[in-house]
Amino acid sequence: MATAAFTIQARQPGSLARAGLLHTAHGDVRTPAFVPLATKATVKGLLPEEVAALGFEMVLGNTFHLHLRPGEELIERLGGLHGFMGWPGPIITDSGGFQVFSMGHGTVADEIKGRSPHGSAGRVGSILSIDEAGVRFRSYVDGRERFLSPERSMAIQAALGADIALVFDECTPFHVERGYTENSTLRTHRWLERCLDWHAEHGPAGQLVYGIVQGGVFEDMRRDSARVVAASACEGIAIGGSLGDHKEQMYEVVGWAMEELGGEHEERPRHLLGIGDIDDLIRGVELGVDTFDCAIPTRLGRHGCALVPDPARRWRLDLLKGRSREDPAPLQDGCPCPACSGGLSRAYLSYLVRAKELTGMRLLTLHNLTFMAGLMRELREAILAGTLAEVAGAWRGGEKHPHA
């Protein structure tokens, strides 16, 4: 039931932050935690044991992509997602709602303006229709027509064997009117009930379901959505959709939802979808978020960017820029990742990424995930020790980093 999925171990006075244990069928996750993406059944470039050795306890797979290729039937036959990809720990799967609606942003925008969506309907990887039943779209893999609905998404996540399934929601784009967001949020609430009904009857034992709070950037709708999701039978709660177009707005929007999720609902785990900048993670933890997922650390790594304790540059070092080309220093002194502990220079890594060598992508991915794991470990330990304010301040000032 609702309280069994999560144990709060410590709270930080003066903030909403908490440290806890998220209990899943494949083990516990110490929170707050960052969840690396294994969108297509792999954390790109890494082996499962490498991801685990960095300190990560859960990864996130994606319903939309895995349904299109290789298909949940094959994955189920080969041991579910855990067996298929060789990851024995907890797995959360995204419902596919975000991918389906992102794919159709142009179409959705046309729809809002009252234009027919037919302009893009013939293109591979496009939305054909959105209605109460679900979303019909064309696969980007083979051009075939596909259909996702609350029930289909839950059935796919059941076949994948996810420890945590996310409900199928309509992910509302940012630049839409209040009326559109309202209709979309109400539909998401109806879809939430359909997901939970399906799961109650057919869902695998031990699989947790997270509802998703929508409501765009409108305070009344965000708060209302949080209350509706909190009142449902879901075991955990995710915050999704448009959170605004700048950081302060995002913190405000997340804060509204978090306020509604306190009190009697606080023992349910909370996940913030798709957010992963260093300062956003720190603030998210202060706002009471337990888990985060984001493409940023791994995607940056594949594109020649390393995470470093440099808040003025958004904690990023672009190795494609000039100053790294002849720099003999490691990415970061004291970092235990293979690149830094192996004595590899910024110059060497800069060369590897410019030459598009796979080793460069791997080394930067390992370094960036090491940085993320270190940040989350420190925030968690600070909450347990009651020192979050000092630790968060030092991180924001760039005085502190995972190995300082």
Q: So which residues are the catalytic ones?
A: 94, 293
Least separation in angstroms between residue 332's CB and Zn ion is 5
Least separation in angstroms between residue 361's CB and Zn ion is 14
Least separation in angstroms between residue 57's CB and Zn ion is 20
Nearer residue to Zn ion within complex by CB, 82 or 367: 367
Least separation in angstroms between residue 2's CB and Zn ion is 40
Nearer residue to Zn ion within complex by CB, 65 or 299: 299
| Number of separate helices (H) and strands (E) present in the chain | 16, 16
Nearer residue to Zn ion within complex by CB, 162 or 337: 337
Least separation in angstroms between residue 395's CB and Zn ion is 17
* Residues making contact with Zn ion (CB under 5 A): 331, 335, 337, 340, 367
| Upper half-sphere CA count for residue 350 (Cβ side, 13 Å) | 18
Token pair for 23? 């209990």
Least separation in angstroms between residue 328's CB and Zn ion is 15
Tell me: cis bond preceding 70? Omega within 30 of 0 counts.
yes
Nearer residue to Zn ion within complex by CB, 29 or 363: 363
* Count of beta carbons in the 10 Å neighbourhood of residue 203: 18
Query: What is the rounded CA–CA span in Å between residue 174 and residue 50?
Result: 37
Query: What is the rounded CA–CA span in Å between residue 346 and residue 354?
Result: 12
- Measured in degrees and rounded to the nearest 5, phi and psi for residue 271 equal -120, 135
| Upper half-sphere CA count for residue 52 (Cβ side, 13 Å) | 10
Least separation in angstroms between residue 74's CB and Zn ion is 36
Least separation in angstroms between residue 292's CB and Zn ion is 21
Rounded to 10°, the helix 178-202/150-160 angle is: 50
Q: Answer positive or negative: Cα dihedral of 334, 339, 344, 350.
A: negative
Residues 6+ positions from 126 with CB-CB distance below 8 Å: 103, 104, 107, 120, 137, 138
Burial (CB count <10 Å: 0-12, 13-18, 19+), residue 52: middle
Q: What is the DSSP string of 102-152?
A: HHTHHHHHHHHTT--GGGGTTSSS-EEEE-SS-EEEE-TTT--EEEE-HHH
Nearer residue to Zn ion within complex by CB, 240 or 360: 360
Query: What is the rounded CA–CA span in Å between residue 71 and residue 68?
Result: 6
Query: What is the rounded CA–CA span in Å between residue 23 and residue 90?
Result: 9
Q: What is the DSSP string of 328-376?
A: -S-SSTT--SHHHHTT--HHHHHHHHHTT-HHHHHHHHHHHHHHHHHHH
Q: Which amino acid is at 316?
A: R
Nearer residue to Zn ion within complex by CB, 42 or 345: 345
Query: What is the rounded CA–CA span in Å between residue 237 and residue 226?
Result: 9
